[in-house]
Structure 1
Amino acid sequence: MSAMRKIATVVGSSGIGKSKLAVELCKALSGQVINADALQVYKGLDIITNKMPLNEREGIKHHLMDFLETEEEYQVTSFLKDASQKVATIHIESISEEKQLPVVVGGTNYYIQSLLWNNTTIGKQENREASPDEIDSNFPEFDQLETPELYQRLSKVDPVMANKWHPSDRRKILRSLRVFYQTGKPQSEIIKSQRDHYETHGLDPRYKALVFWIYSDPQKLNPRLDARVDQMIETGLFDEIKDLRNQVVQGHVKLPKGFELEKYQRGLWQAIGYKEFDAYFFALEEGNKDPAELEKIKVECTDRMKAATRRYAKSQIKWIKNKLLPTALNAKNNDVIVYCLDAGDLETWDTNVREKAVEIAKLFLMDLPLPDPASLSETASQMLAQLNPVLDTQTKILTWNKHTCETCKTDKGEPLVLNGDQEWEQHKKGRHHRKYLKHLRVEEKRKAYLESKKKEQEEQTTIE
């Protein structure tokens, strides 16, 4: 039996059923859940952070949930420390148990990937992430600077990362700047050293792990996400938002420094729902809107929250496909195994998700041969087949290019700048770019025609 500690992880998009499967795995294997959702660490606010109701947890222990104060922020380095301690505790408790499995579940895929492999985050002592307190005390001037000034600073100390980020992406620009000032090294240099380490030594997994990726086609998932938003509103979302806003007004909850410039981009304030209903609650607090106008604003905000939820789910799948899974497939060992479970049809959940996951987890704990991940379903075969070895994230960052389209112009009449090869390729295929190119070709032909007619007239005049 491997000396490495064993864990299971459950990943997937928002609203797909990750918490449900985690509880089902724990029931079958006497396991315990470790939360890996950056918002569910906060006390209370169960609806806006989508915590699983207590009655649905069926007595299963849940760790790293419901413990952080509203105004605090939780960093990946804190999660790694806390989660590793919980994993160790669960394994110690399992000595007297026949089976016991830590099940890490959550929508913050960055947390989970950082837990599975060493050196996939800036986490070494000399390169560790700064805590919010350290950042605020060491670099308070950052919160007072406008984004263009921050971008200019980053361009000087780390032009590679500045080239990668959009000049208006304040959050990413700030993070790269903070990494430089905290570590004394450009973030791009740290990323390069990580890549060189991977190429020489391979990835170093922390645990022997199963990754259960619950997947549904977006066309089937999106209506479920919309219904989930409606349910959140029906079960008390507005009460939570109203209470939180009141606490801010009364001074019981302090907003993070730089909130106005980084509005809704840090800590709890990132939660989908709070910012989307800002206009509605502002109108309520003003008290001068008629009911019909309020209802219109409410509907618009609800649609905004549904759209944001769908975008978030899409971004979660993108992370899994482009970062987490290629990392697992390109590793030089087989200590982290990925299984894709088809949750497109909720009526077949027991057959396609629960039973398959439990069966695989039991084999995993007993060190018995595991099934081929691509053999579970047609969906699994299709999704995993798309994940052929690709450029790793580090190489993508270090070879990132900006492209300038001299044809298309901004509102200011300047050449349009595209960030990255993917955005450039999408732009070239875009309707606006193709339409404008067609317009230019027609204009060139028109000018050529007029020029030829003018030349003919001049020749005719000369003859006469």
Structure 2
Amino acid sequence: MYENPLLVIVGPTAVGKTALGIELAKRLGGEIISGDALQVYQGFDIGTAKVTEEERQEITHHFIDTLPPDASYSVADFKEQALKKIHDIHTAKKLPMIVGGTGLYIQSVVYPYEFTDQGSSPELRKRLEKEAERFGQEQLHQRLQAIDQEAAKRIHPNNVRRVIRALEIYEMTNETPTAQLRKQSTDYRFPTLLVGLTMERATLYQTINQRVEQMVEEGLFDEVKDLLDRGYKNTQAMQAIGYKEIVAYYDGECSKDESIAQLKKNTRRFAKRQLTWFRNKMDVTWFDVTDRPPTQEIANEILPLIAGKLTF
């Protein structure tokens, strides 16, 4: 009999992970840990498709609205906090469920992924930050690409903090972040079932476009304007897809329609990267939800799989 099981639901943005997670949590007595890098921030609601109180259907959700908009948050922070929360959920004799699309965050918990104690230098980090200010973030990203092409593909040039961290690791250890990732164990930390939702690409892209339009109707521009008015422009969270495109509009760099088009394009690209990550990095059992809602019907198909692999 397995003890301390973990259920993980992954997939690209807009595929229906939230709805499936809630459906399975109701049936299995689960508590949901958000595996999304942005839903942890207060005030970042519409652009992150944050689950509402009504949508939660009284299912306990963790790591939502726990940090102020200007806080820093890393994969190491998520790992430490998620492991503690999983222990608490197990102690309460309930099923912990990670639901989200931030691959590296989820990987850090599922596998015994250890972050190097080396590769940290405040002085070096400060120098790299000054270089980014002086020469531009693109130049730093090009330097990363020259030493670690895979990391450069994973990290967007606008995510200066992660680019700097990757360069810092390399300069301090003479080992690329990708090389360190490859040395990590692929044994599960807990008895784990990884379930993934996928969708035919054209349908997924159409769904993403519709979601962006819905976000705009729900007040995405007003949400970003409020955050800007409160002084949160130069924050980690504001560099994310769904926010940086709207900031560009308020900075006068593009029209409103252009910012919406760019947001759709960036989100589609992000969904493609998510699928590539999960297929290459994790042992996921996939369910296609192209022509069916990922709730009761899919849950019925997944339950026997859970019963066969997890006991709790």
- Scaled by the length of structure 1, what TM-score is found? 0.59
CA contact (8 A) 1:176 1:187 kept: no
Give the match for residue 186 of structure 2.
Answer: 203
**Residues 15-414 of structure 1 aligned to structure 2 (within 5 Å):** 15-94=14-93, 100-119=94-113, 123-124=115-116, 126-127=117-118, 135=122, 139-145=125-131, 146=135, 160-161=147-148, 165=152, 171=160, 173-180=163-170, 184-188=172-176, 192=179, 195=182, 203-248=186-231, 253=232, 255-256=234-235, 267-283=236-252, 297-324=255-282, 328=283, 338-347=284-293, 349-351=295-297, 353-366=298-311
Q: Could you list the runs of 5+ residues in structure 2 that have no partner in the other structure?
A: none
Higher relative contact order (CA 8 A, sep 6+): 2
CA separation in 2, counterparts of 1:245 and 1:151? 26
> Larger radius of gyration, structure 1 or 2?
1
Deviation, 1:151, is: 7.6
CA contact (8 A) 2:19 2:294 kept: no
In structure 1, the residue corresponding to 2:106 is in which secondary structure?
helix
Deviations 1:118-176 (CA, angstroms, capped at 9, x unpaired): 13xx514x247x5xxx74x6632211112587589879xxx75389859x958465233
Q: Could you list the runs of 5+ residues in structure 1 that have no partner in the other structure?
A: 95-99, 257-266, 285-295, 329-337, 368-464
- Shift of the 91–11 alpha-carbon distance from structure 1 to 2, 3 Å rule, reads same
Deviations 1:187-218 (CA, angstroms, capped at 9, x unpaired): 33x755764x56xxx63321111111000011
Deviation, 1:66, is: 0.7
Deviations 1:18-73 (CA, angstroms, capped at 9, x unpaired): 11111111100111000110000101221112101110110000111111111111
- Shift of the 161–229 alpha-carbon distance from structure 1 to 2, 3 Å rule, reads closer
In structure 1, the residue corresponding to 2:173 is in which secondary structure?
coil
In structure 2, the residue corresponding to 1:204 is in which secondary structure?
coil
- Shift of the 83–24 alpha-carbon distance from structure 1 to 2, 3 Å rule, reads same
CA separation in 1, counterparts of 2:210 and 2:143? 45
Deviations 1:280-331 (CA, angstroms, capped at 9, x unpaired): 32459xxxxxxxxxxx92222211111111111111111112222xxx3xxx
**Residues 430-449 of structure 1 aligned to structure 2 (within 5 Å):** none
Number of aligned residues: 304
CA contact (8 A) 1:29 1:362 kept: no
In structure 2, the residue corresponding to 1:86 is in which secondary structure?
helix
- Shift of the 110–247 alpha-carbon distance from structure 1 to 2, 3 Å rule, reads same
CA contact (8 A) 2:43 2:227 kept: no
CA contact (8 A) 2:33 2:63 kept: yes
CA contact (8 A) 1:7 1:101 kept: yes
Q: Which amino acid aligns with 1:27?
A: K
Q: Which amino acid aligns with 2:247?
A: D
In structure 2, the residue corresponding to 1:44 is in which secondary structure?
coil
Give the match for residue 2 of structure 2.
Answer: 2
CA separation in 1, counterparts of 2:251 and 2:144? 36
Q: Which runs of 4 or more aligned residues in structure 1 lie more than 4 Å from their structure 2 counterparts after TM superposition?
A: 147-155, 162-166, 168-173, 190-195
- Shift of the 222–49 alpha-carbon distance from structure 1 to 2, 3 Å rule, reads same
CA separation in 2, counterparts of 1:48 and 1:348? 22
CA contact (8 A) 1:154 1:176 kept: yes
In structure 2, the residue corresponding to 1:341 is in which secondary structure?
strand
In structure 2, the residue corresponding to 1:346 is in which secondary structure?
coil
- Shift of the 163–306 alpha-carbon distance from structure 1 to 2, 3 Å rule, reads closer
Deviation, 1:117, is: 0.9
Q: Which amino acid aligns with 1:341?
A: F
CA contact (8 A) 2:125 2:164 kept: no
Q: Which amino acid aligns with 2:27?
A: A
CA contact (8 A) 2:20 2:294 kept: no
Deviation, 1:342, is: 1.3
- Shift of the 173–73 alpha-carbon distance from structure 1 to 2, 3 Å rule, reads closer
Deviation, 1:186, is: 1.6
- Shift of the 211–149 alpha-carbon distance from structure 1 to 2, 3 Å rule, reads closer
Q: Which amino acid aligns with 1:245?
A: L
Task: Name the % identity.
Answer: 32
In structure 2, the residue corresponding to 1:32 is in which secondary structure?
strand
